[in-house]
Structures are given as C-alpha cells and as structure tokens.
Amino acid sequence: MISPRAAMLTLYGDYIRYRGGEIGIGTLIKLLGNFGLSEQSIRSAVSRMCRADLLKVRHKGTGSYYSLTEEGHSLLAKGTQRIFVRKNNQWDGSWNIVIYSVPELRREARDRLRLELSWMGYGPLSNATWISPYDLTKEVEDLAERLQIKECIRVFQAKHQDFTDPKKIVSRCWDLDRIHKRYADFIAKYRPKLEYHLKRLQAGENVKPSECFVERFNLIHEYRKLPFLDPDLPQELLPENWLRPQAAALFDEYHGLLTEKANEYFDSVSKNY
C-alpha cells in the first residue's frame, strides 16, 4: 500500500499545485481514501509534513486548508524536473568527479550527501569518490553549502584518457541491469493497462472519471520512482537495448490519455468537500 506521505506528494505534485495550490482536509481524506488510506493516517501525515516545513495550514471558520511551503515547492519542482525533463546530451568524454572526506561526527550529513549524489545521477567509483558524465559542479556546491560541509568536498572535471572501456566504468558505478529490469517490469504492467483503456475509449465506453483518477495516480506514483534510480547516462554509455525511451513514451501516452477525466474527478471532489 502507498504511504500517506508519498500519496500526498503525488497529489500535490500532479494536481494541487496546478489547481489553486491549496486543499481542504476533507478533500484530502476523500481523494486519498481511494487508495485505502484512513482518515487518521492522512491527518497524521499532514501534521508531520507541517512539522517538516513541507506544508502550511490556513484556518477559515471550522475548516483547515493546506498548501505547500517554499521548501515543499522546491522538493516537488526537483521531482517534476527529474520525471518529465530527461537529459539527452552527447557525452564529451569527461567525468565530473566528487571526492569527499566528511568526519564521523558529521555522519548524518555524509549519509545525506551520498543519498543526494545518487539522486543527482552520480555513481560511486569508490567509497568517497563519485562520478557523473555531466558537469553538475554548481548543483554539488549548492548541496554542500546546504549540508554545511563545503570544506569537506572537492570537485574535478577530468577527461577520460584511460585504456579502460568507459562502459566498464559505468558497470562498476551503476547497476544498470537492476534499473533495466525495473523499466521492463513497468512496461509489462502498464502497457496492457494502456491498451485496455484505449480499447474501451475507442469503443465509446464511458470510463468513469474516478477510475481515471486512480489509474493516473498509480501510474505517476510508480513511474516517479524510476528516474531517481536511473542516472540518465548519455546514449554512448548505455546498453543497446536500454528500455528507458520505451518506458518514458508509455508513461507520456497513458498519462495524457487519463488526464482530462482524472482532473474532472479531482475538481468534482474539491467542489463538494
């Protein structure tokens, strides 16, 4: 089952911030009830996200209305960028290299650095040396400043001149087989769903807006995990049968097919709660 926090991030990221930016607690409970989430779990998650400075509340009469904070907007903007805007640059043969030495007393910051380097698409060449085929020096600098460990990090831009095949370096830094399988699993699950809904719509069947909302929500929730596993490597460094383009095209088509009726359901619930 989807967690309440993850469900709310999906709901805010794909609906609320584009449709008024604010939502009442009753509407949240009604919408997320479609995914088996209880009222108590939703209220608890909302409270935690307020304490984490991701949401803020506005009270009007007996109602409570929640919108994203600046931190919440930033988090979702980064996620949207990663999901919908993929890198398509040709590799120039250079590696961006991040080397760090963070003391044990700053272990929490060190763990966060590793996690966010991974999200940015870096791979570990060794325990404290991470590489990317893209020059992300500014992004790393911003991350180091936010974590307050700038003095512990060095960044280099180096030309690949080794006799080693770059693809062997890639296989050492990233588990492309695991990522490839995740794309294959996504395609195997959602291609039949897309074909099923296409046939129903082409036959003139009246597909319920609530059904489109649930399907689109689940589609987004599952697909958005994939770009954070995928370092978005240039074509020259990828296996020939890489499935990312197929998965992305499937997502775009199915997402577009469900959007109009999914929005219709969201709007109808928002008006009544």
Residue with tokens 């984490």: 52
pLDDT at 267: 93
Q: Report which secondary-structure segment, H or E, holds 239.
A: none
Which residue, 230, 234, 262, is CA-closest to 248? 230
Which residue, 58, 60, 66, is CA-closest to 15? 66
pLDDT at 1: 72
Provide the whole-model pTM: 0.85
User: Tens-digit pLDDT profile for the chain (273 aa)?
Assistant: 789 999 999 999 989 988 889 999 999 999 999 999 999 999 999 999 999 999 999 988 778 899 999 999 888 887 777 777 767 678 989 999 999 999 999 999 999 999 999 988 999 999 899 999 999 999 999 999 999 999 999 999 998 877 778 888 999 999 999 999 999 999 999 999 999 999 998 888 889 999 999 999 999 999 988 988 899 899 899 998 899 999 999 999 999 999 999 999 999 998 876
DSSP tag of 35: G
pLDDT at 178: 94
Structure tokens at 165: 């095949």
Question: What separation in angstroms does the CA of 190 have from each of 55, 112, 154, 246?
Answer: 32, 33, 42, 11
Amino acid at 137: T
Question: What separation in angstroms does the CA of 176 have from each of 33, 180, 183, 238?
Answer: 36, 6, 10, 8
Q: Are 30 and 48 in contact, with CB atoms under 8 Å apart?
A: no
pLDDT at 63: 81
- Rounded to whole angstroms, how far apart are CA atoms 249 and 251? 5
pLDDT at 202: 85
- Rounded to whole angstroms, how far apart are CA atoms 224 and 134? 21
- Rounded to whole angstroms, how far apart are CA atoms 120 and 138? 12
